[in-house]
Amino acid sequence: MINKLREIGVKSDYAYIGAVASIGLAYLSHYSSRLRKNSDKAQADRWGIFVGTWAPTLFGLGIALRLEELHDDTPAAKS
């Protein structure tokens, strides 16, 4: 899967940016859900947790892509 992502041009930096953005999105979704009238705290918590689980996944994907990028840059891989 990582090779396919690399082939279509996905870079580790994209995954890291997505992970950081998902942290901000988790806060935003939680608090915007809480600001609505008749908001349900449990629902707001679920939205925040759902979006918050994206960050570790994207960080892990970024690490895997970065390792693949480093492997591609080694002299042995080029020969």
For 46-74, how does the pLDDT look when each residue is reduced to its tens digit (9 = 90+)? 878 888 899 999 999 999 999 999 988 76
**Cβ pair 75, 65 in contact under 8 A:** no
User: Would the pLDDT of 40 be above 80?
Assistant: no
Both structure tokens of 69: 């990028």
A 10 A CB-CB count for 47 gives: 19
Q: What is the largest CA-CA distance in the chain?
A: 64
Compute CA 68 distance to the chain's CA centroid, rounded to the nearest angstrom: 17
What predicted TM-score, i.e. pTM, was given to this entire model? 0.77
For 11-31, how does the pLDDT look when each residue is reduced to its tens digit (9 = 90+)? 999 999 999 999 999 888 878
Residue 73 CA to residue 6 CA, distance in Å, equals: 13
